[in-house]
Amino acid sequence: MTGWHDALLAIPDPVAGLLTYGAVVALGVALFVCARCPRWCRVGLTACAVLGNTLCTALIAQAHPSTPALCMWLLPTWILTFA
């Protein structure tokens, strides 16, 4: 796995995805059950979600033309990202 996006974070994309999905889901569940978070935490969560969607869109645009079929591992990830 080599590409500009791997060099961007200095870690492979799957590792970055696992770490960030876990953090966003944990904070989302905490906010869903009415946990109180400081304003900077909510703003940071929103910024990270927007950045994640932007990077996911860039990866989709890069991967889609080069693959003849959609990967069954990537498709659920893309659906969950934009849900």
**Burial call 19-37: b when 16+ CB within 10 Å, e when fewer:** ebeeeeeebeeeeeeeeee
How would you classify residue 10: left for phi > 0, otherwise alpha for psi between -120 and 50, otherwise beta? left
Residue, of 5 and 51, whose pLDDT is higher: 51
Look at residue 69 in the predicted model and tell me its pLDDT: 66
Mean pLDDT of the chain: 75
Label residue 37 by pLDDT band (50, 70, 90).
confident
pTM: 0.57
Domain ranges of the chain: 4-82
